[in-house]
Amino acid sequence: MYLSKAIEEYLRHRRTRGARPHTMRCIEGEMRRFLNDIGNIPVRDLTVDHMERWFYGPRGRNTQVEAGAFNNSVANLRAFCKWARDEGMLNEDPMRRVTCRKVYKRERQRLTPAQMTAAIESADNPRDRIALAIAIHTGVRVSSVAELRVGDVNLEAGSIRYVNVKLQRERTLPITAELDRELRSWLTVYTEQCGTPQKSWFLVPRRHRGGRAGQRSYIPSLPFTPRDIAHKALAAVDMDGRYEGFHTFRRSSARALFDALADSGEARAIHITQAFLDHSDASMTQHYIGTNHERQKLDEYLKGKSFMEAPAVEDSNIITVDFTRRRSG
């Protein structure tokens, strides 16, 4: 079987196993690049040399992307080769000489509340403004923002319902006073442009991939490109957005919430922030927002203090026991 056909069958296999749409787009893009570079050769002819050249050659993935993206490429091709071996298309593992790179853990940027407000104000159209406002005031992932429908917003009840796309579960969040104003302003613009929005319409409309039909679009020629929107907003507040995206706003709003709770003396600040982010455990939240609540408490307890000094003993009835070893003979 030729590589192009094998890739199509592999992608179909992943879809039928329930891979999420975003995951499928990443895998498909990776496999298309691989096919274009290697050529449409028979799968059985794939060798270690092909893989080493594609990953480590002069124009290989090693020279094009950072460690995290490189490791994702390695994982995608390993999964494909394993599937091909299971299907009897390969006898040996051509990925056996390819290893993952060590990921440099960069300190992620976070915006202050003032910067987040300025980022929203910097949007050059109302559609991008509401996308930024929702992301900042709810802390949800951009994948969830993109799936919101008009019917998910209940301004009277002060709540917004969304689906955690990553965990595939539905949640309801309160609408802040600032987000309430942003939503009302946006729905007014939406109505002026398209008529009364239907509950099934996307709250953040965008041009559909491949020209698929959808609800009437606010600006038919305006695609929803979260990375570009985020980069423009970050540039507006003088932040380097090369390694950042919409997740920067999620991290920033969560950290702002934690700091506000901690400053108010809330003992469960990290757990409330965990609920805000819909994380499974508090340690993940601590790592995500760049703080360690227990370590902060430890610093407060120890800094400038002593806890090793034994208290003075005045009781004359206490007998001192000498444990000094006696010399033999």
pLDDT > 70 fraction of the chain, expressed in percent and rounded: 84
- What kind and span of H or E run contains 270? helix 269-277
pLDDT of residue 207: 57
Query: What's the pLDDT at 311?
Result: 56
Q: What pLDDT score does 152 carry?
A: 96
Taking only the tens place, the pLDDT of each residue in 305-317 is: 776 665 555 555 6
More confident residue, 127 or 309: 127
Cα–Cα separations (whole angstroms), residue 313 to 308, 310, 319: 15, 9, 11
% of the chain at pLDDT higher than 90: 48
- Pair 201, 187: CB distance under 8 Å: no
Distance CA 53, CA 63 (A): 11
Q: How far apart are CA 70 and CA 64, in angstroms?
A: 8
Residue 88 is which amino acid? Answer: G
Calculate the dihedral angle through the C-alpha atoms of 252, 255, 260, 264, rounding to the nearest 10 degrees: 180
Burial 112-132 (b: 16+ CB within 10 A, else e): eeebbeebbebbeebbbbbbb
**pLDDT at residue 65, as a whole number:** 81
Length of the chain: 329
Mean pLDDT of the region 108-133 = 93
Cα–Cα distance for residue pair 271/301, rounded to 1 Å? 21
CB 89 within 8 A of CB 1: yes
DSSP, res 149 = B
pLDDT at 149 over 80: yes
pLDDT tens for each residue of 229-269: 999 999 999 988 777 889 999 999 999 999 999 899 998 99
pLDDT value at position 214? 44
Residues 178, 181, 187: CA angle, nearest 5 degrees: 140
H or E segment to which residue 35 belongs: helix 21-38
At 7, list the tokens. Answer: 């890739």
- Looking at residue 209, its pLDDT comes to 42
Q: Are 226 and 247 in contact (CB under 8 A)?
A: no
Q: How confident is the model at residue 215 (pLDDT cuts 50, 70, 90)?
A: very low
Residue 211 pLDDT more than 50?
Answer: no
pLDDT given for residue 13 in this prediction: 93
Q: What's this model's pTM, rounded to 2 decimal places?
A: 0.68
271-306 tens-digit pLDDT:
999 999 998 888 888 888 877 656 666 777 677 777
